[in-house]
Amino acid sequence: MASSVLPTPLLKDELDIVIPTIRNLDFLEMWRPFFQPYHLIIIQDGDPSKKINVPEGFDYELYNRNDINRILGPKASCISFKDSACRCFGFMVSKKKYIYTIDDDCFVAKDPSGKEINALQQHIKNLLSPSTPYFFNTLYDPYAEGADFVRGYPFSLREGAPTAVSHGLWLNIPDYDAPTQLVKPMERNTRYVDAVLTIPKGTLFPMCGMNLAFDRELIGPAMYFGLMGDGQPIGRYDDMWAGWCTKVICDHLGLGVKTGLPYIWHSKASNPFVNLKKEYKGIFWQEDLIPFFQAVSLPKDCTTVQKCYIELSKQFKEKFGKVDDYFNKLGDAMVTWIEAWDELNPSAAAALPNGPAK
């Protein structure tokens, strides 16, 4: 029998798993068979004096708020506090090519045959195969086993574009906003959709940070999760913010974004009343933010992610700075983020003396 299916590489020395937490890391026990080969970067949110217990046998570095302040100095102002947005600090200090980030209330899901889903393996498959943003393939990911491009798909587009982001989904508690949670508290996502597909160029989407992987070398600097949580007028828009910026930049640079498999099992429904307070302003603001991102265009000389991001921050501040002072702060934070990123990730090949593990 011809081996048409190559084993998926582990990439264990090329991928970091970034986990923001304020509680504990018990969920890691269930993931142990899948995660143990990998290095973890744990971002401890909230009270830095609390001790977060990491289960035995995992290789990890852990950063609390004191570490973030120490490493970034004044630039630490761009990293959110008391919000899972702080996870992006982990993206910045990582030295690896790929990142997988997952929430601490996400567990291993089962596929319809009852088999446990190796989410990380599927994300790796997604990232290592091209995307197809320029023309929609009706059989979804043409690089999946047993599938291909359909009749009528232009041949010149069949090499695809490099994949920058792999956006996974969730069974059980769906990622709904507060109004929807209030109206449909009992709804559970039980539908397993066996597909990975590329989100077409020019189309935005709501990017959820619960089960997300990306190529840090291709798109890392765009994965800034904004100013949320403590002292900020808004929450639960961190991943949305990163998603809008990331997609605009990916479209500009010719990179692909996939969504679909893998599924994880989302166990904890957050409190919808708390969520409404956090999201409240966002519900109104997004009506203006989204048309901004839909219409934004980046000049040709923005040839790197950083240049794109700085340009975005300029256009954003210009358009929204007068609407609310928060947007001025956010625009500045975007610049601070890029400065911090470049400091911690100089383009020279020399290894970095910064970013020590605890």
Stretch that binds a second copy, among 54-62, 88-96, 146-154, 214-222 (CB under 8 A): 146-154
Tell me: does residue 326 bind a second copy (CB under 8 A).
no
Stretch that binds a second copy, among 13-21, 149-157, 295-303, 304-312 (CB under 8 A): 149-157
Distance CA 46, CA 60 (A): 19
Q: Is 283 in the site for a second copy (CB under 8 A)?
A: yes
Binders of a second copy in range 77-96 (CB under 8 A): none
User: Pairing state of beta strands 15-21 and 39-44?
Assistant: parallel
Considering only residues 228 through 247, tell me which ones interact with a second copy, judged by CB under 8 A. 236-237, 239-240, 243
* By CB under 8 A, residue 206 contacts a second copy: yes
Among 205, 280, 292, 326, binds a second copy (CB under 8 A): 205
ω into 48 cis (within 30 of 0) = no
CA–CA separation, 146 and 201 (whole Å) = 25
Cα–Cα distances in angstroms (integers) from residue 87 to residues 189, 226, 286, 327, in the given order: 26, 11, 22, 21
Please identify, using beta-carbon distances, which residue of 273 and 358 lies nearer to a second copy. 273
CA distance 18 to 39: 9
User: b/e string for 80-107 if b means 16 or more Cβ within 10 A?
Assistant: bbbbbbbbbbbbbbbebbbbbbbbbbbb
Please report, as a single letter, which amino acid is at residue 339: E
In eight-state DSSP terms, residue 115 is P
What's the token pair of residue 159?
Answer: 């090499």
**Closest CB to a second copy among 128 and 157?**
157
User: Given the rule CB under 8 A, which of 13-21, 83-91, 190-198, 339-347 is the region that contacts a second copy?
Assistant: 190-198
CB of 198 to a second copy, least distance (A): 10
- Under rule CB under 8 A, residue 152 binds a second copy: yes
CB 8 within 8 A of CB 124: yes
Interacting span for a second copy (CB under 8 A) from 43-51, 99-107, 185-193, 315-323: 185-193
Residues at the contact surface with a second copy, assessed by CB under 8 A? 135-140, 144, 146-156, 167, 169, 174-177, 179-180, 184, 187-195, 199-208, 236-237, 239-240, 243, 259, 279, 283, 286-287, 290
